[in-house]
A and B are shown apart, each in its own frame.
Chain A
Amino acid sequence: MIESRHKYLFLFPALFTLIAIIIFPLVYTFRLSFSSWDVVQPTLDFIGFDNYVRVFNDMRFWESLATLGTVVLSVVSIEYIIGFALALLLWQDIERNRFFRVLFIIPMMATPVIISVVWRTMFHESLGPINDLLTMAHLPTVPWLSKPTSALIAVIIVDIWQWTSFIFILLLAGLLSLPHEPYEAAAMDGANRFQTFWHVTFPMMAPITIGILIIRIIEASKIMETVYVLTSGGPGTSTETSAYYIFIRSLREFQIGYSAAMSIVYLLLMILALMLIAKGLTRGLVSKGG
């Protein structure tokens, strides 16, 4: 670490810009969570902890949290594995493989609201291509959006399709900015491909991996549009995630006070979970690198 009188010049512009923009919405949301603002009375009255008590008794909220957990755990781990594998396959041989590199970045550029509709048409069981191609290949068709398990899998597939590119591009950039010395050393030691990966690449990538996983977990947890378009939470409540549930309660039903309370609870739980995850990852990945 370097010390400098100028250090605040670096941090403060960003910090204060951010705080200036978000302070009002944050405080306001917190205040809303203690009010009964709803569709008939848009007022900031004070009803104590009523909304919070309701959150704790709302089974649908907790179920949606569990669904969210399943979705996020699956998508982030699968995306990480695939994204890392693809990045490793493509970070050398710079001149060749440009096509693949560009292609693999593209899915995350698709507007989520729209591309979900395209996916919905793909999953359509009688008019869409997926079941049609399965039939042509003499494979059994899948009730994509109409059975709880397959609907959840459909949601997961769309997320993987779109966001593996996010992890891929970040890991690729990470790999490309790695220092060269360790590789030269490893080559001198006669390490093979796998050993080089395990003892050189992986440890050096550990810090950025943690950063990427955390941000992916945060973003994946906001999954809402995909759910809305593909299944609208159904069949039953099988694909209802927290963000989607909060969306229904807030902007569909205008239970603004109540959804503010749900968001605050969600925010606190997420912060707690992320701190635990970050700690776990740091211990698991970084210490090992040594």
Chain B
Amino acid sequence: MRILVYKGIKYLVLILWSAFVAGPFLWALSTSFKDDAAVVSGATYIPFVDFEPSLDGWKVLFSATEGVNILGPFISSLVVTLVSSLVSLALGTLAAYGLSRFTFRAGPLGNTDITFFFISQRIITPVVLAIPYFLLLKMFRLLDTHVGLILIYIAMLLPIVVWIMVDFFNNISTELDEAALIDGCTPVEAFYKIILPECTPGLVVTGLLCFIFAWNDFFFAFTLTFADTQLLPVSIVALNSSKVPWWSLSSSSLIAILPLVFLAIWLERFLTRGALLGPLK
């Protein structure tokens, strides 16, 4: 009986939250098939029943003059996001492992201070960095290039990787390292042969977060480019005119999220695989 009540409450909570989470997406889906007339006549939900559907909201995403062509920006976004995420993940994981396992001292500052230094780089409001970053990239002739954006994104993602991975490494007992070292591994070998596999959940989640943060960055992708390098959020926002086109904004919000949804499905499998193999059920 108690189990049943628990299950009931559990699924009630899950379903309520699902409704809240899915709401905006369903609304966007419905809106993406509307046009002027369907929008101004009040809230409507189901195509054909409540309103006459129109494909305008979707067409505008793939035509060059009436809208934006999102295919090029889509690929650019993918490249920039992947490269910056992978580099940040590689460098950041190393640093996080170092900070978790070894003692560093720089005067009065110790490990926690160095870790905090990393994350503190996320605090400053991006808007004031616009002009300094612009000048920096201008100096190196990297304005309006993929490389320039990748550099900026590495600076944006590294702190997150270090900060999160330190906690995951801390959760893993140092006995494992010691055993590996006794077996004759070098510290580097111990790191990637023994420890890294142990914290795949953390690694995968952190990678996902990097991907999301870089994929969704609008500000730097917008400020530090002119015409040649266009990333997805920038080209989607190019549809946000003074008369807000509800329909195409809705369709573009769904398009932009699509690749990430596949990533989420894959990630969920990956994340739970370790747990499935383990004795914990």
Contacts and interface: CB of A to CB of B under 8 A. Distances in A.
B79 interface: no
Interface residues of B, number: 115
A10 B125 contact: no
A4 B122 contact: no
Contact of A215 (B160, B274, B275): B160
Interface string A225-246: 1000000000000000011001
Contacts of B86: none
Interface string B109-139: 0000010101111111111111111011000
Contact of A15 (B27, B114, B279): B114
B238 to A, nearest CB: 11
Nearest to B246: A121
Interface stretch (B53-61, B63-71, B196-204): B196-204
Interface in A250-282: 250-251, 256, 259-260, 263, 266-267, 270-271, 274-275, 278
Contacts, number: 316
Interface residues of A, number: 106
Interface string A150-193: 00000000000100011001101110111110010000000000
Nearest to A9: B188
B27 A121 contact: yes
A287 interface: no
A17 B253 contact: no
B91 A14 contact: yes
A94 interface: yes
A129 B131 contact: no
A172 B42 contact: no
A25 B92 CA distance: 21
B236 interface: yes
Contacts of A119: 24
Contact of A173 (B13, B101, B158, B201): B201
Given A10-B95, A118-B28, A170-B164, A263 B128 contact: yes
B78 interface: no
A27 to B, nearest CB: 8
20 contacts: A9-B94, A14-B91, A14-B162, A28-B136, A29-B129, A98-B269, A100-B14, A102-B261, A106-B21, A106-B257, A106-B260, A110-B253, A112-B218, A128-B43, A173-B205, A177-B168, A183-B280, A215-B163, A219-B122, A275-B116
Q: What 6 A-B pairs have minimum CB-CB distances, sorted nearest first?
A: A10-B98, A14-B95, A25-B132, A7-B102, A132-B43, A109-B260
